[in-house]
Structure 1
Amino acid sequence: MPLPRLALTAGEPAGIGPELLIRLAAIPLAATLVAITDRALLERAAARCGASIELIEDDGSNATEPCPGTLRVRHLPLAIDEVPGQPDPRNATHVLATLTEAADGCLAGRYDAVVTAPLQKSSINDAGIRFSGHTEFFAERAHVDVVMMLASPELRVALATTHLPLAAVASAITAESLTRTLRIMHGELRMKFGLADPRIAVLGINPHAGEGGHLGHEEIDTLIPVLETLRGEGMRLTGPLPADTAFVPAQRRHYDAVLAMYHDQALPVLKSEAFERTVNLTLGLPFIRTSVDHGTALDLAGTGQADPASLIAAARMALELVARRVTHSPSPLRGEGRDEGPILPRTIK
């Protein structure tokens, strides 16, 4: 049976991404791995890792059995050879070209999913190209609204806003944007994770979720009316909850996922608990995209010592989502109607 084709992007050439792709290619994985990057970059990364990986030109076909130690390549040349730990803005167009090929290839059916290694946003911006991240890039390429989610075996957290200064968060969360985010999140939890009736906890924006208006009015003016409307449509929504107590065990058993209002409100909780096992995924795309939950680790680049655990977890989750898309429809929640606790991702054993 043909194996799914996973497009792999190496991210920042001077970061740890190329080495992570080499590490991923060395393990048994039920997929055809296609690295979209410069072939010579991967050769140098393999040498730094002391790994023997066979790099072959991708012919667009599907393998029928796992072939660890082999990595197909869709060659897109660098503008200039990388210096580990020193991003060069001259390679920004290369990085964006790899993302474009991955997205367009998924849309055209050449790949079943894309798994992205970390990139250096500042280097792309230093090249004079406005760029805020993978999530926003893929959304624009596919012409859809998306939601950023990070998931570990224990917890799923989505974001109402992504890469914004804290001062811009409150004004960015409108009734329209929050409604759109929750609808995408609800639909994707059903379709991608197989939860028939997902339970979503929604965090407040202000300390103590505004404390009845004494610490801010966003909850009263925006969040509560949206939640009441969507509950009327049948969504199981809890909140707005104070962020400082939403993650204690007594609360967690009441929900399947959390919607946080901004990037640093909930992600420190997730990453402190399961940094090596957390996967970044983009909800709302017409294709599957997963990624690592960390950055380019420029201090480790070139040493061959970077931990590939998060990229391996991202690849495994992508394959799980591909399999569910092909063979499953939303299934009933375990213990539906009872508070037995969230259904946990089964990505990582």
Structure 2
Amino acid sequence: MKTILVIEDIDITRELIVHTLRQDYHILEARDGIEGLEIARQHPPNLILCDIAMPDMDGYQVISELRKDDQTASIPFIFLTAFDEREAIRYGMALGADDYLTKPFSVEELRTAVRAGLQKKALHDKHLHQKMDELRNNITTALPHELRTVVMVLEGYLQVMMDGSNEENQSLLLTMNQYAERLHRMSDKFLWYTELQTGVIKPADHPLQDAHKIITEAAIKHATSLNRQDDLRLQLAPTALCIVPEQLSVIMRELVENACQYSEAGTPIHIVGEPNNAHYFLHIEDQGRGMTPEQIAEVGAFMQFERDTYEQQGTGLGLVITKRLLELNGGSLTIHSDYGQSTHVMCTLSQS
């Protein structure tokens, strides 16, 4: 229910307005401008009806103060006035009023003005949100491609420099190349996320035979890149799955990288794949720091947990990409965790 603040020093007028509107709106009342300003700041309403001629602080002063505060600046404001003079009305509108009602006004005039004020604000907010969504989409679509192009050129030149450099420069160039690779991985994640958001990525249109081999190769590749290949414990039953090979590789990349990143070297990472009727259950379990139930519930894009406690890299996109790729192909992602002990991720995939 929308909230209306009525600021009016004449009791009978204020009571009439409240009685007229309370059936459709939640009403806040103020007997003068000072009280009204305080209420508006503490409990910002959806619309304000305010008399102009009040002692201590008149309506002009009230709206001037409200428009200075970001929290209250955009609240629709309707003046109630006994003045029918153009200059007074124009002055009020110049201060930021959205409308005015000249006393005495009818019940229908009051209701119409309130509805119009709320509708105008709703349309303004909708237009603003559309513009913001458009801006976000433009940035989200363009940024990953631009990043990827720049990084690929940078990596190419670094490789040329490393091939022809002396031993003294090798260490510096190697460090630069590691950061370039990190930026490459980040741009790749952004690109996958963007294409999933925009529907560019499509589900599989034919079965993937020997999918367990793709899982094995991807798990070993990414564990090796993080020097954790000796910690892998693979137990995968043969299967054919309804998923594109590259998408399955990305899922394994994200899950293996997460398991490696959030567990200590030397602790096992179990990857088990087992068929069950029409589904294939892929389990990835590590003995890392785990997640709380609240953290699991809040898994989302750009969400990382306990960054103030643990030094870590990344954007928080990995699990989101994994979840959406699975759902795109009729699967699902489930996370169970004992905080401080282990995390168990289960991917459900459709067998062909």
Q: Report the TM-score when normalising by structure 1.
A: 0.27
Q: Report the TM-score when normalising by structure 2.
A: 0.27
Task: Decide which structure has the larger Cα Rg and report it.
Answer: 2
Greater helix proportion:
2
